[in-house]
Amino acid sequence: MKQQTPTKSIKQTFITVGCLLIAAIALPGLVQAQSSSWNAPASANQLKNPLAGNTTVLKEAKKLYITNCGPCHGNNGKGDGIAAAALKPKPADHTSAAVQKETDGALYWKMTEGHTPMPSYKQALTDTQRWMLVNYIRSLAKKR
């Protein structure tokens, strides 16, 4: 058997230790990124819905929802749209207690800003349309 020279052995040790250090530093961040939920900043919770309680917008909001949200979240908001299977993380179930307990401002902020794979709707929808969608998402909880 051929013996390794001390220089090769030391180089291999440094490479191994270096790889382990990189993994130890990077892995927790990757795991956290995969398991953490998407939280709006505290400032978003202070946003007040100018359409709060306005049910007259729900008919138009439903059309907006089916067009813009339905492909991923499903037409009934369960997170089971036709594109959902291919997405990571999976789309939220808008009828769930977790979504329903979020503030209107947080829901509005999430629609406005987006978070991969969800796009930002800042340019695609007006402020009023996004608030209408917040009201529509609230109405989905009643249809569970």
Structure confidence by residue, pLDDT tens digits, 30-89: 333 333 588 999 999 999 999 999 999 999 999 999 999 999 999 999 999 999 999 999
Are 15 and 74 found together in one domain? no
Predicted pLDDT at 39: 92
Residue 6 banded pLDDT, cuts 50, 70, 90: low
Express each pLDDT in 87-122 by its tens digit.
Answer: 999 999 999 999 999 999 999 999 999 999 999 999
Would you say residue 40 lies in a domain? Answer: no
Domain extent at residue 27? 1-35
Would you say residue 122 lies in a domain? Answer: yes
Predicted pLDDT at 19: 43
Are 23 and 50 found together in one domain? no
Predicted pLDDT at 97: 95
Would you say residue 99 lies in a domain? Answer: yes
> Which amino acid type is present at position 66?
I
Predicted pLDDT at 27: 45
What does the alpha-carbon distance between residue 91 and residue 77 come to, in Å, rounded to a whole number?
A: 9
What does the alpha-carbon distance between residue 35 and residue 29 come to, in Å, rounded to a whole number?
A: 10
Are 50 and 25 found together in one domain? no
Are 29 and 87 found together in one domain? no
Cβ pair 127, 121 in contact under 8 A: no
Quote the pTM value. 0.74
Would you say residue 102 lies in a domain? Answer: yes
